[in-house]
Structure 1
Amino acid sequence: MGIKYHQQNRTFHLQAGDSSYIFQVYREGYLAHLYWGKRIRSNDLSRRIPYGRKPLSPTPDPWDEGFSLDTLPQEYPAFGNSDFRNPAYQVQLGNGSTVTDLRYKSHKIFKGKKRLQGLPATYVESDEEAESLEVVLCDELCGLEIVLTYTVFEKYNVLSREARLINRGKERLKILKALSGNVDFLSTDYDFLHLSGSWGRERHIERRALASGTQSIESRRGSSSHQQNPFAALLSKGADEKQGEVFAFSLVYSGNFTAQVEVDQFKTARFSMGINPFDFSWMLDPMESFQTPELVMVYSDKGLGDMSSTYHQLYRNNLCRGYYKLKTRPVLINNWEATYFDFTPEKLENIAKTAAELGLEMFVLDDGWFGKRNRDDNSLGDWIVNKNKLPKGLEDLTERINHQGLSFGLWFEPEMISEDSDLYRAHPDWCIHVPDRRRTNSRHQLILDLTNEKVRKYIIESLSNILGCAPIRYVKWDMNRNMTEVGSAFLPAERQRETAHRYMLGLYEIMDKITADFPEILFESCSGGGGRFDPGILHYMPQTWTSDNTDAIERLFIQYGTSLVYPPITMGAHVSAVPNHQVERITDLRTRGHAAMSGNLGYELDLTKLSDEEKKIVKEQIGEYKEIREIIQFGQFYRLKSPFEGKEAAWMFVSDDKQNVVAFYFRILAKANPPLVSMLRLRGLDEGKDYELLGTDKVYGGDELIHVGINIPSFKGDYVSHYWRFKAIK
């Protein structure tokens, strides 16, 4: 590991794990990108810089027509000074112009990694885990200074990047665009991969070849969104789970973002990612600074599986925080699909009693416990217990649940406000809105204006009062709508386009405070399901409700796609009733269990209505899960068969010492006259060990399981599954 600066050719060589990232201070102070890929020894790659006169490509040097910024691969490019490609930033000066010209000023290399002010980011426990580089660029004319920070990690093929814009001039500057990172590739022979979808169909894998022009994903919704996840990658042709080059980008941010790759006339590809410049600007007064979110870049020459393993380890160990970061997660029952808004203490207690008998460990009370909340059109913001439903309050209910041997959890939607609420009647200006414009409702609610310090204080106090009144050990933090009429009554006119980003800064401040004050609580993020499943939220809340769609077959696609970036320990996964409430599908209880056991297992149905046979199956599932959950939550994860490529799916988990193995197989649709033998090849085992198939007397060599595989049982019907457990015996 290390960062080296070679004075002779002014080259920076960053080495992270088995990867190298190299750039150079070129000519009169431009930062030229030279290489990102497999670790190499060379420090002088200036021969890779394109040189030669191109028709209609302007040059900033009248004495050298072979030099042009329009063909130079750059680290953090500007627009307007002869590079026609997409810029990484844009700033408007006092005279209205948007031309800047950054040049290298200085740099420093140091051990460790600094915290980002007001933003979530990866971190290190010790300075020996990482090394960082700060490169200062300056435009002497307007006083704009940009500090580019790069961090390489000792254990991973990871490079993180971010930028800080500082106004060292005498006049106010307006930031129009400030992305977190840019990489110029000299080839376009790549596929563009990203995770897209909608509510109930999140993070499906999309992959297509690069083509001339710009390909992009983005969110303009005020959150990272169900529709697009803040992740994208460029893949070499033919790259798959086990082979090929992958250049991956993951933004540690939960708001509006953009990721795009531009293929220009010379068949080079410029990838850039960061805060979406759409409807964004930021006023920067003299001596003020603006910090971009962190961009986490992973290189793999062993395909998507290796890329995912890197993200999984980094985000599990160096992004998630708190008591539960490396603690096993409880098996829970959530009452939402069992009762919706219609419940009594006795009904909830009966569910909890049955849950305890079946081996569950936590009971979570979902929506409907506060204000006058009997339906979803009122009371958000009024975080006071509904005494009509819970006459003796949460204290009594918690005691009832604890008496059954279960810990107690609670649902909140703290960022929202109902027009039919005491809070709205007292403070109608506390929501995000534009004066004299209609306030569009979604799910009968508006969004609280977190740019307002009084609103943030109210949320912190309200939640703290509830969380401090009883031994609450889990919080489901929901957010069920996106931003419209984006504006703040508490910002001046020239700062209205700062609203969406200031909202995110306010949210991070609230989450930081609440999670610090209640460290014993396991927080799970939710946004209409998986609408804000991103690294920014994971920094504060170590797991996310993966999707509101609990259908086991739909979850195969959702959880498979999610696993490209996010480790299984971050995924909430529940068994629900059939016909499924989202798609009306009827799926076997064992298949539902196997899908949910592939993440943090929970149940979301009325356990009291299960038959004796169903209760027996659930009790067995929970017992099995408790035996394997450390492997699921902390082991190495491997994707074996993609549901996006056929009518089956499979994945597996291996403990770090390669002693314990769990594999799941799912058949989505049956085939007539199927193959005589179907084999599932496993991965990640020790080829020199023998593995016992638990529950049988069969023993397989690790090499056999990897290269030959194990027979997939013969099934009848659709939506069936099977799982295997192996244990090394030598």
Structure 2
Amino acid sequence: MSIILDRSSKVFHLKTKNTEYQIKINEYGMVLHTYYGAPLGDADMSYLIKEIDRGFSGNSYECRDRRGLSPDTLPFEYSTEGAGDYRINALGIEDPKGARTSDLRYKSHTIYDGIYTIDNMPYVRSSYEGTSEYKTMKEASQDDSCKEGNLGSEFSSKSESTLVIVLEDKILGIEVSLVYKVFEDKDIIVRSTRITNISSDEVTLTKAQSMSIDLLHKNMDYIHFHGRHAMERQPERKRLTHDIQSIRSKRGASSHHNNPFVILCDKDATEDYGECYGFMLMYSGNHLEEIEVDQAGTVRLTAGIGSDYFRWKLSCGQSFQTPEVIMAYSDKGLNDLSFLYHRIIRENVCPREFRDMKRPVLINNWEGTYFDFDEKKIMEIQDAAADLGCEMFVLDDGWFGARNDDNAGLGDWYVNTKKLPGSIKAIADHANSLNMKFGLWFEPEMVNEDSDLYRNHPDWAITDEGRDPVMGRNQLVLDMGRKEVVDYLYDMISKIIDSANIEYIKWDFNRSVCNVYSRVLPADRQGEASHRFMLGTYDLMNRLRSHYPNVMIEGCSGGGGRFDAGIMFYSPQIWCSDNSEAIDRLSIQKGTSYGYPVSTMGAHVSASPNHQNGRQTSIITRGIVAMSGTFGYELDPRKLSESDKDIIRQQIRDFNRFYFLIQKGRYFRLTDNETEEYFVSWEFVSDSKDEALISLVMKDVHANPVIPHIKLRGLDADTVYKVDYCRSSVEDTPEDVGIRRSKLEDMTFTGAALMNAGFAFDPMYGVYPSVQLHFTKA
């Protein structure tokens, strides 16, 4: 039973295998959050709320004689503006007279078996989707499994259930539906909010967050994932203090700079110990996550669409749906929290068609040729790539319009026949003749001024009237909130897909959005432009996915500028970063791993010296790092040495051998920030615990070195494991260092030894040396 309502205490218990979430309706109809953590049985945790009369914390009118019951200190399940709660809020509403107060109280609720779906936006899919057991919300609300009530005893019986609590402000005529999707078997709760105007007047939303939560009596850190182009999702951990922390993007995308994912954890939590809470927004546009520790020590977190520039008008009967937030809790540390997110994203967020499909090892021509290519050169690269064992060729930017550099052509999605006289079909057919699949690059949401599209429809670009626009990469952004723009893009892209055997699309987005103004919206609705832009992008992705379900989309935004669970609903993988250099990728991929599975991380072996930072690393080290992703190559294979070609052939064989272990195995970060000044190590363990793959890369080498030592995780203590594979970039060691090299193959260890005593590596020498070991059940 994943959702239970206790009639006597008026407490909702949302239960998963290892967590419980409690919501209390008090005697005044206030909806309070009382607990989120390990299971408690039938306990009502509202005893944790203490009524204390705190100075300058006022009272609702009906509570004027109970001064300890203040909106300024109560742990609300959804916080509002203007009614005595001075903390950060989730909802801001302006009525026709300009008043900003909202005071929400319980009205009704619904519990039903099955999962709530959202139209026009990403959502966490039901595990039953596509089966006879699957029900949409509409279907479920029409049968007996739907229980609507006024605090009667009810429960759900399925492993996936939904609770909808309807709140009401009778003065404003606003209903707010708090939606909770409970994935019992996966220890995940998903929240979203639907705001409906049931008054006869028009109101304006000034803020509409997906969720808020008040965690009582917590002394916590928060972890967020900042960055910049080519250095995305760098984890930063800070102590929560009595101020307001905000993580946001107002760039029109989730951004390279602040990922829409936040972790709250015990101040002493580690990878393997302590309470951790995760909050991941499924949205790809402007976002805002705020955290405040209030005067009583309660930690409040809100998450949702960014409120900068946001204003949304609701007429009578209209609703506004917020994006979903994926929530997870673990009392076993950060590695376990990451596992919960990896599983739900792989199995319930990414398109189901690609969940179990073996994805091909691809080669992309971008860093091999940039814009300097023609049909002959591309086919030569395909020939060389096929000889190495590559399984897909992806043609990147430069194949369309007048596109010979990044100053022209965007928006003109027709083939540049001067470069490709045989059109895309000739290139695709040649790849197929070599037993390689074929993929193609697009940047649908962008337009150059030097393009036929802009010359014919300059008003389709997002610009201020009468003002020169800000340029990014010498390109502008199309107004995706306009149906005619989305229709044009769908028609043009469809014609290209229909013209050849295209099985993969790389979908790029190469600038931030500013000058946000839509030519089709009136002045009082310009605050809707950014969200309408995102809805238009989702609509285009959804239409292409529906029409071409077997064409895989890889998301990209200058690499990782839209690396979020919203895009993953349409794209099972995203180009993790434009920085393909192995040593920088160690921190990029580690930061990404806190919330996102390896199967979503586009990672390639590129040339050395690297094009982004000039660093030189061995091809073995580059391969080991790229294997902790979807794996592929980003170089010109014609320029490789014969020894490097042999290594690549072996890398592809190795990756295919370990593919399902890497893509679906449980991932562990084995080293901490201090250790990672010296070396970085990570591990994949199969569900059966029969095998594990360990990778280690040295970031610094020393004479008379400290021995690299790790403790493995996730094995079976009683199982005996042997090493049946060892790949290392270390070929030679300095003379006279007195090292006796271990012969690792066929050595055996118990799981208990590897986890409790650990594994010691031989010292490694050279430039960024690396090693990869496979342990299998003896």
TM-score by length of 2: 0.92
Q: Contact 1:552 / 1:596 at 8 angstroms: preserved in 2?
A: yes
What is the match of residue 588 of structure 1?
618
What is the match of residue 210 of structure 1?
240
Moved more, 284-293 or 74-83: 74-83
What is the match of residue 362 of structure 1?
392
Match of 1:472, SS?
A: coil
Moved more, 55-64 or 416-425: 55-64
Moved more, 379-388 or 25-34: 25-34
What is the match of residue 24 of structure 1?
24
What is the match of residue 650 of structure 2?
620
What is the match of residue 755 of structure 2?
706
In 1, Cα distance between the equivalents of 2:624 and 2:159? 37
What is the match of residue 661 of structure 1?
692
1:325 to 335, 343, 355: 355
In 2, Cα distance between the equivalents of 1:698 and 1:517? 52
In 2, Cα distance between the equivalents of 1:44 and 1:496? 46
In 2, Cα distance between the equivalents of 1:239 and 1:556? 22
State the Cα deviation string for residues 504-543 of structure 1 (Å, max 9, x = none): 1111110011011111212100000000000000000100
Amino acid at match of 1:521: V
Q: How many percent of aligned residue pairs carry the same amino acid?
A: 43
State the Cα deviation string for residues 301-324 of structure 1 (Å, max 9, x = none): 000000000000000001111421
In 2, Cα distance between the equivalents of 1:699 and 1:11? 53
State the Cα deviation string for residues 313-364 of structure 1 (Å, max 9, x = none): 0000011114212212110110011111111212111111111111110111
In 1, Cα distance between the equivalents of 2:57 and 2:550? 60
Query: What are the residue-to-residue correspondences of 1:492-507 with 2, within 5 Å?
Result: 492-507=522-537
1:406 aligns with 2:426: no
What is the match of residue 219 of structure 1?
249
In 2, Cα distance between the equivalents of 1:364 and 1:562? 24
What is the match of residue 313 of structure 2?
283
In 2, Cα distance between the equivalents of 1:59 and 1:520? 57
1:440 aligns with 2:470: yes
Shift of 1:25: 0.7
What is the match of residue 649 of structure 1?
680
1:89 aligns with 2:91: yes
1:673 to 704, 709, 717: 704
In 2, Cα distance between the equivalents of 1:638 and 1:432? 43
2:512 to 469, 475, 482: 482
What is the match of residue 565 of structure 1?
595
Q: Contact 1:3 / 1:131 at 8 angstroms: preserved in 2?
A: yes
Query: What are the residue-to-residue correspondences of 1:154-169 with 2, within 5 Å?
Result: 154-169=184-199
In 1, Cα distance between the equivalents of 2:474 and 2:67? 62
In 1, Cα distance between the equivalents of 2:249 and 2:118? 23
CA RMSD of aligned residues (A): 1.2
Distance change >3 Å, CA 213–CA 188, structure 1 → 2: farther
Moved more, 303-312 or 40-49: 40-49
1:59 aligns with 2:90: no
In 1, Cα distance between the equivalents of 2:703 and 2:212? 50
What is the match of residue 328 of structure 2?
298
1:102 to 97, 101, 104: 104
Amino acid at match of 1:57: S
Could you tell me which runs of 5 or more consecutive residues in structure 1 were left unpaired when the two chains were aligned: none
What is the match of residue 2 of structure 1?
2
Shift of 1:129: 3.7
State the Cα deviation string for residues 618-661 of structure 1 (Å, max 9, x = none): 11111111111111111111111145742211111112112222
TM-score by length of 1: 0.98
Q: Contact 1:694 / 1:725 at 8 angstroms: preserved in 2?
A: yes
In 1, Cα distance between the equivalents of 2:604 and 2:305? 33
Amino acid at match of 1:394: I
Match of 2:186, SS?
A: coil
In 2, Cα distance between the equivalents of 1:15 and 1:177? 30
In 2, Cα distance between the equivalents of 1:123 and 1:579? 43
Match of 2:232, SS?
A: strand
Match of 2:485, SS?
A: helix
Q: Contact 1:188 / 1:210 at 8 angstroms: preserved in 2?
A: no
In 1, Cα distance between the equivalents of 2:22 and 2:184? 17
In 1, Cα distance between the equivalents of 2:196 and 2:76? 20
Q: Contact 1:550 / 1:576 at 8 angstroms: preserved in 2?
A: yes
Match of 2:353, SS?
A: coil
What is the match of residue 142 of structure 2?
none
Amino acid at match of 1:100: S
State the Cα deviation string for residues 195-253 of structure 1 (Å, max 9, x = none): 11000000000001011110111001000000000000111021011000001100000
Query: What are the residue-to-residue correspondences of 1:245-256 with 2, within 5 Å?
Result: 245-256=275-286
What is the match of residue 12 of structure 1?
12
What is the match of residue 301 of structure 2?
271
What is the match of residue 181 of structure 1?
211
1:342 aligns with 2:372: yes
Could you tell me which runs of 5 or more consecutive residues in structure 2 were left unpaired when the two chains were aligned: 129-133, 135-157, 726-744
State the Cα deviation string for residues 415-456 of structure 1 (Å, max 9, x = none): 100000000000000011121122111001000101110000
In 1, Cα distance between the equivalents of 2:326 and 2:748? 42
In 1, Cα distance between the equivalents of 2:493 and 2:232? 29
In 1, Cα distance between the equivalents of 2:719 and 2:542? 45
What is the match of residue 461 of structure 2?
431
Shift of 1:78: 1.3
Amino acid at match of 1:291: Q
User: How many correspondences in the alignment?
Assistant: 728
Match of 2:516, SS?
A: coil
What is the match of residue 635 of structure 2?
605
Match of 2:503, SS?
A: strand
Moved more, 496-505 or 3-12: 3-12
Q: Contact 1:204 / 1:561 at 8 angstroms: preserved in 2?
A: yes
What is the match of residue 509 of structure 1?
539
In 2, Cα distance between the equivalents of 1:182 and 1:300? 19
In 2, Cα distance between the equivalents of 1:193 and 1:46? 28
Match of 1:423, SS?
A: helix
Q: Contact 1:450 / 1:503 at 8 angstroms: preserved in 2?
A: yes
Q: Contact 2:109 / 2:165 at 8 angstroms: preserved in 1?
A: yes
Moved more, 556-565 or 150-159: 150-159
Shift of 1:188: 4.4
Match of 1:134, SS?
A: strand
What is the match of residue 137 of structure 2?
none
In 2, Cα distance between the equivalents of 1:451 and 1:274? 20
In 2, Cα distance between the equivalents of 1:48 and 1:402? 65
What is the match of residue 167 of structure 2?
137
Q: Contact 2:116 / 2:181 at 8 angstroms: preserved in 1?
A: no
What is the match of residue 33 of structure 1?
33
In 2, Cα distance between the equivalents of 1:643 and 1:723? 21
Q: Contact 1:322 / 1:519 at 8 angstroms: preserved in 2?
A: no
What is the match of residue 223 of structure 2?
193
What is the match of residue 149 of structure 1?
179
Segments of 4+ in structure 1 off by > 3 A? 642-645
Q: Contact 1:6 / 1:43 at 8 angstroms: preserved in 2?
A: no
In 2, Cα distance between the equivalents of 1:351 and 1:433? 40
State the Cα deviation string for residues 656-682 of structure 1 (Å, max 9, x = none): 11222211001111123212x432221
Q: Contact 2:279 / 2:325 at 8 angstroms: preserved in 1?
A: yes
What is the match of residue 409 of structure 2?
379
In 2, Cα distance between the equivalents of 1:678 and 1:503? 50
In 1, Cα distance between the equivalents of 2:91 and 2:511? 30
Q: Contact 1:13 / 1:43 at 8 angstroms: preserved in 2?
A: no
Q: Contact 1:451 / 1:490 at 8 angstroms: preserved in 2?
A: no
In 2, Cα distance between the equivalents of 1:347 and 1:62? 79
